Structure 1
């Protein structure tokens, strides 16, 4: 594993949010780190090439543009590579993992609206022979969508609060959709990256910066900054921990759970599948399986979840991990479901 020094650590941890929205962001970052813009770009490029970051760019809040859901399939183990490749080939799939459960393939799917999302999931079932279950977000207790590399610090505490998933969806203009498309892969490694994005979207630099600032202010963007790959940074164990909680208690217990250190994500989801009774979810990451298991047990006891039906789904394989690819409602693209190789 390529070592990181103190400046690398600050780049990775401190700039996952609050990344400068100004014409010369690399210089602004360098000023905070005590180095120049060239060094910032060189370090980011090295971290990207080592697989430690995927991009520097926007992370949209769930369901603020388009519709999305967590979904799962029960796939015969021998058939997982084939089915995962088919799922990866559909536009709108941005994360796809194997987990230890009868429902062993878990992915996030996004589409322009609920009807398009339902059609997408149906098409996946037809193409794979494994109908997915959908688990739409109902209430979020902590979905910061960053990854705290210094657990126990204030970084992970300040944005935790319960938010209903039933929020108005932003109406986007054609220019907004062009900007989103231009930012799919993050900022380009250019001295004036926002101007390059503006040129690609047919906009002006000042307008791009104003739009991004507005989206951060109104919650359309959850954050803008460095997107890290936790596995490549040594956090190779992660488990999706789920409980079946009485509906009258799930909000209270979810809020309590989200307030503890070690919880990367925490939310309430809906599911009508008779063999999936779980409605409270949290993600726990660690450097070892034993550390994750120990923290899960501590959290369950602390919150009062230890006597409720539960399951622990460790991730064993990552078939796809990238930023969500949002498309304008009229930008319909057929799925490339015959793709034969797994996405990185």
Structure 2
């Protein structure tokens, strides 16, 4: 169990990584379920955020529904890692950036409102760094929930739902951007979000409910920083498989305890891997044991694969959905 987290913090985080209330006083409702006052819930969340234990209270959005993204890999010489990381992390659309143990050692996720935006920013980063970059577009997501249970070992996420993109409306983009950046920690976060958007509170709450029911909001609640909570041995496992093999292997691995992410990406010249799984563990030995159990359980022991452990985290934030300037300043995190 993570150090310096008291049992109430653990209960608060575990009970509220999904299903955040869309109601008048959501933090008061959370408090009633835990036997806490609204003020104590807000104080605890503010402290956890200040300590770097949680990223925000907000949403994750189903990939490729209202925005675009790609996973990028670069080969960065040792002497340039800090400089390249600072340049890449400074790009607003980069929401995750990690150094990993591999010849392709620098990995980041680049997001934006559409593919043209992502492509233009990737080309600029290639030009500014002078480095080649693998552009690994998502093809299928089998599990991208990434919730972490502090009190249960290897808890499985809810079964994924196919998002109903046809239910999107033109005004949803700024709402989703606000949710990915985080709600204000105040008694009326929905009212605060509506005020920033210049829209009616009831309208915003109604759209959030609809987007959740449509599966476009894939998770609404506390977003944790897993490394600071004890998951420090994080391995990205890449598998060399055909799309037909992934048809069965992807869902099977996604439903395996200990596998925290699972998705298929398009290969790139010199990079044949299509299936990606993440294992977030408390130790390297635990991560490797999880991998071996998964491979044996699903008949994948002979499949060519590589294990890329994370070494450093440079950035972890919400995705860029709306590039409108008003979202780049003054938003509470």
The TM-score, its normalising length taken from structure 2, stands at 0.92
Describe the SS at the equivalent of 1:138: strand
Q: 1:106 to 1:170 in 2, by over 3 A?
A: farther
Match of 1:314 in 2: 309
Deviations 1:152-202 (A, max 9, x none): 57x5243257x6x9x8587552x4333344445311121111111111110
Q: 1:169 to 1:86 in 2, by over 3 A?
A: farther
Q: Distance in 2 between matches of 1:131 and 1:67?
A: 21
Match of 1:134 in 2: 135
> Do the aligned residues in 2 keep the contact of 1:236 with 1:287 (CA within 8 Å)?
yes
Q: Distance in 1 between matches of 2:175 and 2:116?
A: 24
Q: Distance in 2 between matches of 1:152 and 1:4?
A: 17
TM-superposed deviation, 1:17: 0.6
Match of 1:159 in 2: 159
Q: Distance in 2 between matches of 1:125 and 1:319?
A: 18
Match of 1:232 in 2: 228
Aligned counterpart in structure 2 of residue 220 of structure 1, from 198, 216, 220: 216
Q: Distance in 1 between matches of 2:316 and 2:282?
A: 19
Match of 1:176 in 2: 172
Q: 1:258 to 1:176 in 2, by over 3 A?
A: closer
Match of 1:85 in 2: 86
Match of 2:65 in 1: 64
Match of 1:341 in 2: none
> Do the aligned residues in 2 keep the contact of 1:68 with 1:136 (CA within 8 Å)?
yes
Q: Distance in 1 between matches of 2:144 and 2:15?
A: 18
TM-superposed deviation, 1:313: 0.2
Q: Distance in 1 between matches of 2:243 and 2:51?
A: 44
Match of 1:200 in 2: 196
Asked whether 1:289 is paired with 2:290, we answer: no
RMSD of the alignment, in Å? Answer: 2.2
Q: Distance in 2 between matches of 1:168 and 1:178?
A: 16
TM-superposed deviation, 1:308: 1.2
Describe the SS at the equivalent of 2:84: helix
TM-superposed deviation, 1:99: 0.5
Q: Distance in 2 between matches of 1:295 and 1:60?
A: 27
Q: Distance in 2 between matches of 1:86 and 1:69?
A: 17
> Do the aligned residues in 2 keep the contact of 1:91 with 1:325 (CA within 8 Å)?
yes
Q: 1:311 to 1:16 in 2, by over 3 A?
A: same
Count of aligned residue pairs for this structure pair: 326
Match of 2:331 in 1: none
> Do the aligned residues in 1 keep the contact of 2:174 with 2:322 (CA within 8 Å)?
no
The TM-score, its normalising length taken from structure 1, stands at 0.89
Unmatched 5+ stretches in structure 2: 327-333
> Do the aligned residues in 2 keep the contact of 1:57 with 1:187 (CA within 8 Å)?
yes
